[in-house]
A and B are shown apart, each in its own frame.
Chain A
Amino acid sequence: MMMLYSCVLTLHDNVFFASREMGLLFETEKFFHNWGLSYALFSGRELPQMYRLTGEAAQRPSYFHPTAENRLEVLSDLDIYVFPAQPLQWSYQINTFKAAQTTYYGKSKQFGDKGADRNYPINYGRAKELAVGSRFRTYILAPETVVIPRWIRLGKWAGKVQVEVEAIPPECQTIDRGDYCCDHPLNPLDLPPETRVRLYDRVVMPPASLLRRSQLSGEYLALRGDAWDLWRQERELPQKLNLPYGSRYGANYHAPTP
């Protein structure tokens, strides 16, 4: 049986990924992309996680690459889909990082220095990281039998994140068709092909920008009414929640065959 899970992520370490790079400053967006989250949640179990990457494989993303063992279609085949995550409460911390040498002290190559091919020092930078204690919410569609880990690691520093997951009772959910609003961030490339996007705010981040506060039309999963009101009490959940029905990894995207 397919279940919709509500999932709260709490940061127990700083999480950093470079959504924007501005010279020395690397900034983390306050949304978690659903593709990255999917790898964090299901690598090592559903998705094979290779220790070693070489040559071409180390440089290209494996999301939809036809020969990649860990492409996202593996999850689609298991009927698993993870939505992007929305911040509930967040703060930032800026930290400087550098790559040291064995001599214990590495002098940064300054602008114009010999060996500096960029106009900023090449072995250090400042990371604007999501701070410990920040909390996010996401939704997962998966079969009842799926195992969702209690701890995952996210971002470039592999920060430890606590996962609290609860299945939303099926009586709260109805499938509707027509125009609807969705506040939760969505990945436009994963939307069902017949769904139309009318209005949206864009969250600019790689590998594919997200939509939020969007108006769409198509088939959708609606959570509202008395059963929902009763269940969502004391759970920080919205009064009304609509999610596109039939989202799948890359449903709206076809990778060019190499």
Chain B
Amino acid sequence: MLDHLKEHFVKEFPRIASGHYIHLFVLRHSQSFPVFQTDGVLNTARTQAGLTKHRDLFNRLVMFKRKQTTPERLTGRELLRALDITSQAKDAENYCAYNGEDSCKQCPDCILYGFAIGDSGAERSKVYSDSAFSLTPYETSHQSMTFNAPSEAGAMSEGGVMRHSINEQDHVIPEITFPVVETLRDVTYEGFIYLVGNLLRTRRYGAQESRTGTMTNHLVGIAFCDGEVFSNLRLTQALYDRLENPEQIPGIDGLKLLAETTVRELLAEEPVRQTRVLFGDDLAEIMKNVKGLYQDDEAIAAILTTLNQQTHQYAQTHGAKAKTTKKKSKK
């Protein structure tokens, strides 16, 4: 099944952006108590509830775009290091540091997610994300919780003195859904496997991620198109309109079915060519194949090694290691 898809990918990373878009439709579903904040309170936005049926406004929780791609990148980088494709050792040949001038500009992570390093230039990202909005209103999707840091005895008083380490914070509650379109542009088959793997394998988002913040990404569909399609907000609002009773949100399996019909409907409105669309059984089969690759040490090592060759090849011809650009700029 996966092999049949291969014709829809680019054979090598192009120098100039082209119309090869792959849209992944995902429901991000909270499993514990994530925290998405930039200024001490949870991020929210005031939006219309639905598109046509529910026109009232309410506040939604927002998961900013960089709070989605950052953990996914880090998951991928972890795997690259584990397979010795990149290294954290400064003297290693394949040394690559995240978010800084020491990024190698040629590994899969650098080329796929992009970078910008002043004089050393920039690589545009091939992964496009969009801020995600909670399906349900802020008021019913969060909870304030007190936290403290007790002493070794497990108590808040130590030798008769009270500790001051106590505070309160808003958390997103479990089973809150954030519908999302993640877009990949101009990626090879190997790049696709790597990026889908990052999406499926990232389990924690937001602040304090070693304590809380578990989320599961449920892939609902994949569409190969020649242009951009609807936004996360539009998907969220359309899905909200489809709910039978917004006071009672169905479980994740029910939501996935609703989301599939919603995505199909919204896709039909978009003036883009759809070369291949995958839902239901087709999608399940593909996902089984992808998971199989990740369960097999040798298979995934082979794919990521090929991907690494592709990104190095790209860097040699068009990127950081290319010789021709220097000549051009001297003219």
Chain A residues in the interface with B (C-beta under 8 A) = 12-14, 43-45, 48-59, 67, 93-97, 99-102, 104, 131-133, 149-153, 157-160, 162
Contacts and interface: CB of A to CB of B under 8 A. Distances in A.
A13 B119 contact: no
A144 to B, nearest CB: 16
Contact of B45 (A56, A93, A150, A160): A93
A102 B17 contact: no
Contacts of B130: 12-13, 159-160
A67 B329 CA distance: 9
Given A54-B325, A101-B100, A96 B38 contact: yes
A95 B64 CA distance: 10
Nearest to B325: A54
A50 B329 CA distance: 15
A158 B228 CA distance: 13
Nearest to A45: B19
7 contacts: A14-B131, A50-B16, A96-B39, A102-B97, A102-B99, A151-B231, A159-B130
B227 interface: yes
Closest 10 CB pairs of A and B: A12-B231, A54-B121, A151-B228, A58-B121, A49-B17, A102-B98, A160-B231, A12-B233, A96-B38, A13-B131
Interface string B8-22: 000001111111000
B265 to A, nearest CB: 15
Given A101-B99, A131-B45, A132-B45, A51 B15 contact: yes
A58 to B, nearest CB: 4
Contacts of B97: 102
A50 B325 CA distance: 13
B interface secondary structure, majority: loop
User: Which of B18, B228, B270, B326 has the largest number of chain A CB atoms within 10 A?
Assistant: B228
B70 interface: yes
A150 B270 contact: yes
A50 B234 contact: no
B214 interface: no
B121 A52 contact: yes
Interface of B: 13-19, 38-39, 43, 45-48, 64-66, 70, 74, 77, 88, 97-100, 118-124, 126, 128, 130-131, 186, 209, 227-234, 270-271, 318-320, 322, 325-326, 328-329, 331
B82 to A, nearest CB: 14
A58 B15 contact: no
B329 A132 contact: no
Given A151-B231, A160-B232, 4 more contacts: A49-B124, A95-B38, A149-B228, A160-B231
Contacts of A150: 227-228, 270-271
Nearest to A98: B38
A163 to B, nearest CB: 10
Given A14-B131, A102-B97, A51 B121 contact: no
A49 B100 contact: no
B121 A55 contact: yes
Nearest to B233: A12
A97 B325 contact: no
B320 A48 contact: no
Contacts of A159: 130-131
A52 B318 contact: yes
